[in-house]
Structure 1
Amino acid sequence: MKKVLFLYATTDGQTVKICQYIQNELSDYECELQNLNENGDVDFSAYEKVVIGASIRYGHLSKNLYRFIEKNLEALNTYKVAFFCVNLTARKEDQGKDTPEGSVYMRTFLKKSPWTPKLQGVFAGALRYPQYKFIDRVMIQLIMKMTGGETDSSKEIEYTNWDKVTKYAQSIKEM
């Protein structure tokens, strides 16, 4: 059976949830899921495809993601590897912030990274106020207030557009 490796860097779990959703869409593949922050060693030749997902926190992707890219640049450029990022700004689909071209985070990633993924995706994350520590809740409320988002700290809102994730999964099959 064909194998796909999912590597993820997540803060609150939405990125891994998206990875698991894509895994379900790739039912013809044997899928493996690994936390990028726990394991940086990957034998790319053991997989037909690799999918990397990472979340934005306070405007930044995980430093471990950039370390992984530097360490594995040759393999990333050789094998079939897709990348997606998850952030709350992507909830603004009407403004195109859920596309690689319209996402400031994806554009920043592409400037900072020596690797340009062949398949890129941008997905809205989830707002989970009750789960956040006090300082995170206050900071995220401030950010959401500045960007016209939800500030009610009793709410949990999932902004992920699952139809868009399904289309991305189809693109992974085709790559």
Structure 2
Amino acid sequence: MMLLIAYATTDGQTRKIARFAADRLAGQGHAVELLCVEDAEGLDLSRFDGAILAGSLHAGGYQKALVRFVTGARPALAAMPTLFLAVSLSAAGGDPEDWTGLRDCLKAFEDQTGWTPGRTEHVAGAFRFSEYDFFRAWAMRWIAGRKGQAVEPGRDREYTDWAALALVLDGWTAGIRGGAASAG
């Protein structure tokens, strides 16, 4: 199968997740095109059998470049099996209020773009202190403290469950091959 993996990233964790997905699927014999949505202008989506999109949630919304890409590609995305990897720190925990917020943000994204993914998986992100400026590092330490998370300034902390993500990818591609994956 020919698969597109298109992502938007703010601090680099979503790019790392997209690369993991590309490596995993290419290792299974799929042809994979990995690209940042900012480089996807004019991309012919009709040559793909399915698409994985990945974006990270920051301050209640996904990246503007992801919103633009999805809005423009909506008809083509609706005609193929899709998987949306919604990356956030909130997905690392079990707080019901956080999960309600994640669902609300996803609904807002769907309303904004007019696109409903065939499947969505919330993927835990990371604290990427190596990428933050002083003020962002301070804000992220404050957020971590509110959630009872111990973080060391200047030291990244990853929450992504790579084994679980591998199972999601394997299941999604198996569904495409079996004809069970829905377009969307």
TM-score (norm. length: structure 1): 0.86
**Alpha carbons of structure 1 residues 142 and 66: separation in structure 2 relative to 1, 3 Å:** same
Note the C-alpha offset of 1:98.
Answer: 9.3
Aligned to 2:158: 158
Note if contact 1:101-1:107 (Cα within 8 Å) is conserved in structure 2: no
**Alpha carbons of structure 1 residues 103 and 58: separation in structure 2 relative to 1, 3 Å:** same
In 2, the alpha carbon distance for the partners of 1:51 and 1:97 equals: 27
Note the C-alpha offset of 1:151.
Answer: 4.2
In 1, the alpha carbon distance for the partners of 2:59 and 2:149 equals: 15
**Alpha carbons of structure 1 residues 153 and 103: separation in structure 2 relative to 1, 3 Å:** farther
Greater shift in the superposed pair: 159-168 or 147-156 = 147-156
> For 1:72, what is the secondary structure of its paired residue?
helix
Note the C-alpha offset of 1:96.
Answer: 6.5
Aligned to 2:131: 131
Unaligned runs of 5+ in 2: 177-184
**Is 1:18 matched up with 2:17?**
yes
TM-score (norm. length: structure 2): 0.82
Note if contact 1:5-1:31 (Cα within 8 Å) is conserved in structure 2: yes
Alignment of 1:23-172 (within 5 A): 23-26=22-25, 27-92=28-93, 94-95=94-95, 103-172=103-172
Aligned to 2:3: 4
Alignment-mate amino acid for residue 14 of structure 1: Q
**Alpha carbons of structure 1 residues 62 and 125: separation in structure 2 relative to 1, 3 Å:** same
Note if contact 1:90-1:122 (Cα within 8 Å) is conserved in structure 2: yes
**Alpha carbons of structure 1 residues 99 and 76: separation in structure 2 relative to 1, 3 Å:** farther
**Alpha carbons of structure 1 residues 99 and 81: separation in structure 2 relative to 1, 3 Å:** farther
Note the C-alpha offset of 1:142.
Answer: 2.3
Note the C-alpha offset of 1:141.
Answer: 1.8
Greater shift in the superposed pair: 5-14 or 151-160 = 151-160
In 2, the alpha carbon distance for the partners of 1:146 and 1:48 equals: 43
The root-mean-square deviation of aligned C-alpha atoms, in Å, is 2.4
Report the count of equivalent residues.
173
Alignment-mate amino acid for residue 163 of structure 2: D
Alignment-mate amino acid for residue 117 of structure 1: P
In 2, the alpha carbon distance for the partners of 1:169 and 1:82 equals: 9
> For 2:39, what is the secondary structure of its paired residue?
coil
Identify the structure with the greater helix proportion: 2
Note if contact 2:74-2:113 (Cα within 8 Å) is conserved in structure 1: no
Note if contact 1:15-1:55 (Cα within 8 Å) is conserved in structure 2: yes
**Alpha carbons of structure 1 residues 137 and 13: separation in structure 2 relative to 1, 3 Å:** same
> For 2:86, what is the secondary structure of its paired residue?
strand
Unaligned runs of 5+ in 1: none
